A and B are shown apart, each in its own frame.
Chain A
């Protein structure tokens, strides 16, 4: 599904290397988790994959379903099936959440040469999905993320994911800011989407989310490189002992 090889990334504005030869392969239908200390480059990876400005790829490649995505515009990557649930969802005053969602869904469909969703079908679908995430109708009418609480923003990200039905879903700390019940809702939302043709890359600091969304593989990112890969037990190890031992082993 997603194949990243020897990815090197620097900031465009300043001379700062953030990713230093990152290798990662996520197979179709699998859930991979990425953990790592603050500032290790997790969000940078998610931004570079989704096409945000400000980063320069100096070496390496990233392919989604065999297609080089690094040269694509952000909207082309989205239409190709990539989705990023932002660590910090953006507020867009004046653009209604509904308008935004319908525009996004239909833009992607159009880009893929599919038929656009009718207003009625869209409404039906969005209402059902919002309900299961306990997002009330009022929130759908409000401007995108404006005045949403931290947890509401995260749930709104998952609603968008559910509506867009992407193939490769990257969740950047979607658990942060969620209360226990909301975490369960979000995890249920994610699990409902789990499918042979869909993969997840779950960035998190805590084991708790991974209790709900069982990962197949866990990676530890440190200073822009994957320093360790293992099964779900790796996340437990981090939870109990922190990163010190892992880093020490890497730097030894």
Chain B
């Protein structure tokens, strides 16, 4: 089927810049298949569903807008993680720990790509392919839920990535630490957590002035995957993250991200609960300050098994004309009885110039489910603020306390208390920085 003209043009422009798929057999196959998917889906334009609040040209334009640099941020030092450093998407072996960890096999995409066969071929691009595949659903009609062309693009051309095969209970978190000299980065990490195994993946810092960092996580039965991202911040950054996960029976998935400012931040989380009794939590906190700030969280959770639980908790604090977007969907398939789905998105608008756009959606085909969603937009509670000040807390600090209280519910989605503390400290630091 031919693409609409506008879509065809941006897609052609991009395709003409893409390199030939190279590497060993398995990745060549994966990449050229992704390229074909991209060609048939076409890149998004503003008219597309889930792009109308944002501007896809930040990532469809061939050239990036900015050359923002940043130092390493290393906020997770306190939890003593195994650290892998990337500078503008290029692995920095000297700055990184050795890729050795009890209970996990870690390798780089560039290395795996040289082989003709690799364990990661059952993982790399697989969840993206699933998301982008036409499949029978809901009474047998053939539908594709939502096109994910950027994910296909990432699979097709990702320059590097970390591939992690978790076979045991890995106590030490794995940290991917980013730094930018002002370039671009297209990274594709893939994590396979075997049955009963568990791992914590941390991300920190700014990957590049323009970036697209994708993670695919395949979480097997009774496995656990924890993820905390402290998105490196700088005002002039085009930031995209994509998280694809599939959850097996009785598995646990928890992902949280903190973001501060940025003219274009788009974070997708596409999760599928395919085993009974699985639990998926995604949370995010955003502090946006300034009229150019635009932050979009888009979440799509599919329940396709019995007695699963999912939570989406997103909080945005916006001021000086910042824009926050939340698009979140819970899709409960016909057989996904006893689903417990919860979604809340809230914004704290510190002035009248800022705005919060929310698109909460429930689509339910099973009859025995408990799903709830809510979205609120509000100003700082003046009564609470006065109460704090009447006790002697200075105005700026009182506002910070109220702000921290507001985002705390999202931070609570992080299981590990030490990691919660790290995030809280970052929120406090960001707020203190603003106060000057």
Contacts and interface: CB of A to CB of B under 8 A. Distances in A.
Interface stretch (B21-29, B54-62, B166-174, B386-394): B386-394
Contact of A164 (B381, B392, B405, B406): B392
Interface of B is mostly: helix
A90 interface: yes
Contacts of B389: 51, 73-75, 78
Contacts of B394: 73, 75, 107, 111
B51 interface: no
A227 interface: no
Given A92-B388, A94-B404, A95-B402, A53 B393 contact: no
Contacts of A104: 388, 391-393
Nearest to B394: A75
Contacts of B409: 94
Interface string B361-399: 000000000000000000001111011111111110110
A86 B392 contact: no
B392 A78 contact: yes
A100 B401 contact: yes
Contact of B405 (A52, A93, A108, A160): A93
Interface in A135-158: 143-144
Contacts of B404: 94-95
A247 to B, nearest CB: 32
Contact of A160 (B386, B391, B397, B401): B391
B405 A107 contact: no
Interface residues of B, number: 23
Contact residues on A (Cβ < 8 Å of other chain), bracket: 20 to 34
Contacts, number: 82
Nearest to A109: B392
Contacts of A164: 391-392
B387 A89 contact: yes
A90 B392 contact: no
B408 interface: yes
Interface in A69-98: 73-75, 77-79, 84, 86, 89-95
B390 A84 contact: yes
Contacts of B388: 92, 95, 100, 103-104
Contacts of A75: 389-390, 392-395, 398
A199 interface: no
Give 6 closest A-B pairs by Cβ, nearest first: A94-B405, A78-B392, A108-B392, A104-B391, A74-B389, A90-B387
Interface of A: 50-53, 73-75, 77-79, 84, 86, 89-95, 99-100, 103-105, 107-108, 111, 143-144, 160, 164
26 contacts: A51-B390, A52-B390, A53-B386, A73-B389, A73-B394, A73-B395, A78-B391, A78-B392, A79-B392, A86-B387, A89-B387, A90-B384, A91-B384, A92-B384, A92-B388, A93-B405, A94-B408, A95-B384, A95-B401, A99-B401, A105-B392, A107-B392, A108-B392, A111-B392, A144-B387, A160-B391
Given A75-B395, A95-B388, A103-B393, 5 more contacts: A75-B398, A99-B401, A105-B392, A107-B393, A111-B394
